Amino acid sequence: MRASLELLLLAQEAGAAPLRRYLREPLPAGEVEDRLSAIGLAAPSDLIQLYGWHDGIDQSAWEADGSELVLDFFPHATFKPLEGAVADYLELKHAWQQTPMYESYLAGSDPGFGYWRSEWFPVFESDRWRHAMDCSEGDHPPIWHVYFEPSPPTAVCHNSLKEFLTDLIEVFGTRSCYWDQRAGYFKSELDYDL
């Protein structure tokens, strides 16, 4: 996993993306496990490795260096520190528990798709969607692409975080996604959200 994350970073840096200098220090495995356990989730190995690589992007340092934009991890997607991702999870879980579908879910009926599911943990986010790791699916769980507005059915977009990283490396390697030095953010030539 670390090798894939470093390859992605190298592919982004080939286009002059400044991400490396704004990545936060790694978290120990025990801290990731404890933080997820405190919200009722088991931490998959993939999530432990992700936050063991770096604890998200330091947006404050990016802003202090003069940017007024959010520094994304890939086009339209932030990589929050674990603390922020936990807060996001709790907010999404609370909103999900207020929907009529939640009672069906508790009764054992699969609602198909809904606003959120309690076992999903938000890994990357935009204002319209989240990439969520299904913490009920073992050490290398699927990544769900969850849209909120408009809300088409959610779908597994990748079978694991490593598969997702492999696809990101490819789109940066082919320059379908790239860092726009003048604009100060990632752009994408793709006709779909990553």
Q: What CATH code is carried by the domain that includes residue 148? A: 3.40.1580.10
Give the model confidence (pLDDT) of 111-145 as tens digits.
Answer: 555 567 889 999 999 877 899 999 999 999 999 98
- What average pLDDT does the structure give for the chain? 90
- HSE, side-chain direction, 13 A CA sphere, residue 117: 25
Q: What does the block give as tokens for 129? A: 């969607």
Question: Domain tally for the chain?
Answer: 1
Contact (Cβ atoms closer than 8 angstroms) between residue 23 and residue 58:
yes
- Domain assignment present for residue 193? The answer is no
Question: pTM score, two decimals?
Answer: 0.90
For residue 18, the enclosing domain spans 2-188
pLDDT for the residue 110:
63
